[in-house]
Amino acid sequence: MRRALPWLALGLVLATVGAAHPAPYTLEGTIRDRHFQTPVAGATVSLMPSMRSTTTEDDGSFSFGPLQVVGEAQLVISHPEYRTVTLPLGSLGTDAWHLDVTIVPTAEIVPGGPDSDQGGAR
């Protein structure tokens, strides 16, 4: 029994450390032009505070995984021809997420006009 005690203690320490880190999850989605609903290829999608980034494919899709973000997360989407969008995601937890996001071209933004907001997720 005495030999088992150190191993039992080690097992409890490892279980406690494992519980402090959330399970991995995935985050994926599609970026589209707000007006034409066409895919936006080449947009940079960054997940903060993890500092991980990816670029959208020709069909506007992006994917992150496996991820372990602790605390509040934000998705930042940028493209030279579109207004940068920051979406607060809150606490992501351990589930898989899928986001469909529309963004507004910079050439179409009129200050105070109907498109002066930051786009949005559906």
- C-alpha span between 79 and 59 (Å, rounded): 15
Distances (CA, A) of 65 to 21, 25, 57, 94: 15, 6, 16, 11
The pLDDT of residue 53 is 94
Q: Mean pLDDT for each 10-residue chunk of the chain (122 residues)?
A: 48 42 76 95 93 95 81 90 91 75 81 53 49
Q: Which fold has domain 23-121?
A: Immunoglobulin-like (2.60.40)
pLDDT reported for residue 93: 65
The per-residue pLDDT for 37 is 95
61-67 vs 25-33, strand pairing mode: antiparallel
Q: What is the pLDDT of residue 90?
A: 77
pLDDT attached to residue 117: 52
